[in-house]
Amino acid sequence: MCIHDANDNFCVQSLVKMICVYSRWHALKGCRMFHKNLFFLVTGMFVTGGLVTAPSLIAMAGTNTWTLEAVVQRTMEIAPEIRTAEAEIAARAGELTQAGAWPNPTVDLGADDSLGQEDGSGGTELTQITLSQPLPLRRLARQRAAARANLESARENRRYQRLLLESEASRVFRALQHTEARVALARSRLDLAEGFGRPEPGGKARDPLVRYLTPLERIRLAVLREEARQAVMVAEKDYQKALAEFRSLLALSADTAVQTAPLDLAAPPPELAGHEQNLEAHPLLASARREVEAARAGVAVAESQRFADPELNLFRERDYLNGERRDVTGVGISFQIPLWNQNRGPVAKARAEALRARAQVELRQRDMLTSLRQSYAELARVIEQARRTRDNLLEPARQVFDLTRRGFTSGELNLLALVDANNTHFEAQSRYLDLLKEAHLAGAELRLAAGISLLEEREVQP
């Protein structure tokens, strides 16, 4: 049974044999960190050599592995930004409800002693009741239109907030993957550096001749090993920092075990033309258009509010007519005369805000199209560079490193050749890991610029 990669075929038996040799080697050295080193070595083989896929790693480890989709889902469930966006939507919904509400009527009561004086009975009595109702003839419909546009804008802002959170979750997740892979690579480099100039693991050397090391070569090898140890320390520091940020984002406890899927090469993006056609549905642009609608409705609202609403008045009065008390019922209407103030300032302000909203849409269209094209070009470039690095640099550097180690052990090559091959090999591996991370981050930027969600329109309850 074989596990296939894009370039080579590796058998399971070979992998098991390599692990066994590594185990005997560390058993002879008495290394206390054998199990941890073995885990990072195998993880590094998965990342840099592509031996097995993420499902195989899960099956072998027997633990749950975080994927980007799972990280995004978890982030959406606990992020306070989503609750803030939901609260904004609730506030806009309340404004929409209030925008269609009629103003309350008012009741005026009047009492005097006019009746008592007329009939000589004296005293004070209720003589007048007036009910006044403001009439918002055109204002309510315009207010509802503005409030409805504001509500839709808040909903689009929530969609955009989710895209921002997805981008942030992707950044944190890829940083953890990258640092974990660099730890595995650094440990692999240290293990190889520890073996330079020493017998082959397994007890008996293949060649009866022993490579003689000059004092200068021994010092240089010691420096090489110390550089490898320092690289492990730096990689572990970066990993712990990324792990702390990952746990904080997902609200995980400090003792929660975290394992991520191996870092792989990002998939090539679809055609740019398709992204440009779908750019009109981007939530940031849709929100700006809703703001234009709200601003236009705001102009109509300002025009309807130039003068106070007319009021319908119903009244009932009690008076003394023809020698007896009588009740009089009447109706009236009151309205404002725009003699001194015509309230043109609010209308001018609303029109200026509408112009600004339209200009903001054009500005967002320009900036978003530029960002989309830049993100697309960056992703395509990084993917191509990563492929070239994998195909034209990783394997040749590994072959040169293997041949140089053999030549150094047999005395055919000097230490400078070994150091150069060692540095070239691991620098190529490190550069490839950096390119993998850059490709995924560029993919996240492209999804954000194109308005594409990993959750595929699934609703996430905050």
Q: What is the 3-state secondary structure (H, E, C) of 402-459?
A: HHHHHHHHHCCCCHHHHHHHHHHHHHHHHHHHHHHHHHHHHHHHHHHHHCCCCCCCCC
Least confident of 138-142, 170-174, 367-371: 138-142
Name the residue among 174, 167, 103, 160 with its Cα closest to residue 135. 103
Band of residue 319 on the pLDDT scale cut at 50, 70, 90: confident
CB 153 within 8 A of CB 441: no
What is the average pLDDT across 272-287?
90
Instruction: Give CA–CA dist 157/294, Å, rounded.
Output: 14
Report the pLDDT value the prediction gives residue 198, as an integer from 0 to 100.
Answer: 60
Mean pLDDT of 269-280: 89
Which of 105, 137, 150 minimizes the C-alpha distance to 303? 137
Instruction: State the pLDDT at residue 113.
Output: 80
Instruction: List CB contacts of 271: < 8 A, sequence separation 6 or more.
Output: none
Question: Mean per-residue pLDDT for 47-63?
Answer: 35
Which residues are within 8 A (CB) of 440 and not within 5 positions of it... i.e. 6 or more apart?
Answer: 170, 174, 263, 266
Q: How many residues does the chain have?
A: 462
Task: Return the structure tokens found at 230.
Answer: 């320092």
What percent of the chain has pLDDT above 90?
Answer: 51
> Once rounded to an integer, what is the mean pLDDT over residues 258-275?
89
Supply φ then ψ for residue 3, to 5 degrees: -110, 120
Query: Which tokens go with 99?
Result: 């925008």
Position with higher pLDDT, 123 vs 139: 139
The residue among 454, 376, 394, 441 whose CA lies nearest residue 176 is: 441
| 141: its two tokens | 């419909």
pLDDT in tens, 141-185: 999 999 999 999 999 999 999 999 999 999 999 999 999 999 999
Task: Check whether 23 has a pLDDT greater than 60.
Answer: no
Q: Which of 18-32, 227-241, 310-324 has the lowest mean pLDDT?
A: 18-32
Selected residue with higher pLDDT from 341 and 387: 387
Round to whole Å and give the CA distance between 50 and 5.
6
Share of the chain above pLDDT 70, in %: 81
Tokens 């008390």, located at residue:
325
Res 384: pLDDT: 95
Q: What is the pLDDT averaged over residues 213-231? A: 88
What are the structural domain ranges in the chain?
2-101+136-306+343-450
Cβ 224 vs Cβ 422: under 8 Å? yes
Looking up tokens 């998939």 gives: 267
- Going by C-beta distance under 8 Å and a sequence separation of 6 or more, which residues neighbour residue 60? 52
Q: What is the mean pLDDT of the chain?
A: 81
Q: Quick one: CA torsion of 443, 448, 454, 460, rounded to 10 degrees?
A: 150
Whole-number pLDDT of residue 29: 40
The pair of three-digit structure tokens given for residue 298, joined into one six-digit string: 């705001």
Cα distances (angstroms) measured from residue 327 to each of 129, 192, 313, 318, 374: 11, 110, 17, 4, 81
What pLDDT was estimated at residue 256?
87
Lowest mean pLDDT among 51-55, 311-315, 386-390, 453-457: 51-55
Structure tokens that stand for 52 in this block? 């097995």
pLDDT(13) > 90: no
26 has a pLDDT exceeding 50: no
Residue 57's pLDDT is: 31
For residue 125, give the H/E element and its range: strand 125-134
Closest CA to 462 of 79, 71, 72: 79
| pLDDT tens-place string over residues 65-91 | 899 999 999 999 999 999 999 999 999
Tell how strand 2-4 and strand 9-11 pair up.
antiparallel
Contact predicate 283/338, CB 8 Å: no
CATH numeric code, 2-101+136-306+343-450: 1.20.1600.10
Measured on CA atoms in the order 89, 91, 97, 99, is the torsion positive or negative?
A: negative
Q: How far apart are CA 24 and CA 40, in angstroms?
A: 17
**Tokens linked to 386:** 């990563």
What span, in angstroms and rounded, lies between the C-alpha atoms of 398 and 445?
A: 33
Q: What is the model's pTM?
A: 0.74
